Structure 1
Amino acid sequence: MGHIRFASDVGAPPDAAFAYAADFQHGPQWMFGVTDVAPLGDPDQGLGAAFAVKVRLFRVIPLRSAVEITEYRRNAVIGYTLRGRVCGTVTLRFDPLGYERSVLTSEADYPPPRGMFARLCHRLGLADAAARSALRATESRLRREIEAFHGTDLVGRIA
């Protein structure tokens, strides 16, 4: 099982950062490779909410996956469980850092790859590198989108 963790400063308070990330309609703007997110029934927010997700890996390979919110603490934590060909868990934590700032911690846990080619990529370190790159891109995009949504830059000034 692989595990990756990144943390960064965000120029928005935890409640604003959480509000942006919790709205599924913003998903394609910040989730790496995601082109479409659609709710799978009620609720469409909070614990137990499920979504159908269209993903394009490397801009070429189209995949469909299901995502469920399995951890949810308002203004603090959102945990996603991905099921399908792209699987694992992604957890976003929002902690206060000071006036109009917060810390965004992104964590991902993913199973070892299946199949002969996937195992070869794993042994060469390519699978971990790809997962690390995808989480870093997701975290970076989410931070930028939150700051644009809140109208501030990294140090919390009005943009």
Structure 2
Amino acid sequence: MTVVTIVEDCVASAESAFAYVNDYRNLPTILHGLESFTPVGAKDEGLGAVFDGRMKLGPVALTSRVEVTRWTENALIEVTSIKGFEIASTFVFHPKGAALCTIDAIVEYRVPGGLAGKALGRTIEPFVKLAVKHTTDNLVAQIAAFHLTREP
């Protein structure tokens, strides 16, 4: 299992950051390489919500069906794959004031075993590093802009 962790301060409240990330429609603009993220069924947030996602990392397209496995309003969102590419993503929102929070974004993924899995791992590794850099930049910039629209 490969683990990628992003810890960033963001000029927004934890509530604003949570609200932005919790809206699945925002994820393709935050997560670099995410081409689609659509709900499966009527539930589109909270514990038990299920989504189909497609991510492009360089020449490789990966698909997963994920389920929200932990969800605490304004504090935590965790999704875990239940089908397809094995991935788990967790976002933790730490309040630091009315307009400041720290966001922990932890992504864990596993490539299949054998030669094909090793080749896939080597192929996507540089693209994962690039995606993490762009995702970090997108995450803090977009949440900060969203927070400004929510202020009275």
User: 1:108 touches 1:135 (CA, 8 Å); kept in 2?
Assistant: no
Q: What SS does the corresponding residue of 1:97 show, helix, strand or coil?
A: strand
After TM superposition, give the deviation of residue 87 of structure 1 in Å: 1.7
Where structure 2 has 5 or more consecutive residues not aligned to the other structure, the ranges are none
Residue identity in the other structure for 1:6: I
After TM superposition, give the deviation of residue 64 of structure 1 in Å: 2.8
Aligned to 1:138: 135
Task: Determine what percentage of the aligned residue pairs are the same residue.
Answer: 29
1:151 to 145, 148, 151: 148
Residue identity in the other structure for 1:44: D
Q: How large is the RMSD of aligned CA atoms in angstroms?
A: 2.4
Q: 1:79 to 1:13 in 2, by over 3 A?
A: same
Where structure 1 has 5 or more consecutive residues not aligned to the other structure, the ranges are 153-157
Higher helix share: 2
User: Normalization by structure 2: what TM-score?
Assistant: 0.83
CA distance in 2, matches of 1:49, 1:136: 28
> Is 1:94 the equivalent of 2:93?
yes
User: 1:2 touches 1:128 (CA, 8 Å); kept in 2?
Assistant: no
Deviates more, 1:24-33 or 1:10-19: 24-33
CA distance in 1, matches of 2:2, 2:38: 28
CA distance in 1, matches of 2:109, 2:135: 15
Aligned to 2:110: 111
Residues 48-96 of structure 1: CA distance to partner in whole angstroms, max 9, x if unpaired? 10111122221x4434321211110100000011344432211001001
User: Normalization by structure 1: what TM-score?
Assistant: 0.80
User: 1:106 touches 1:135 (CA, 8 Å); kept in 2?
Assistant: no
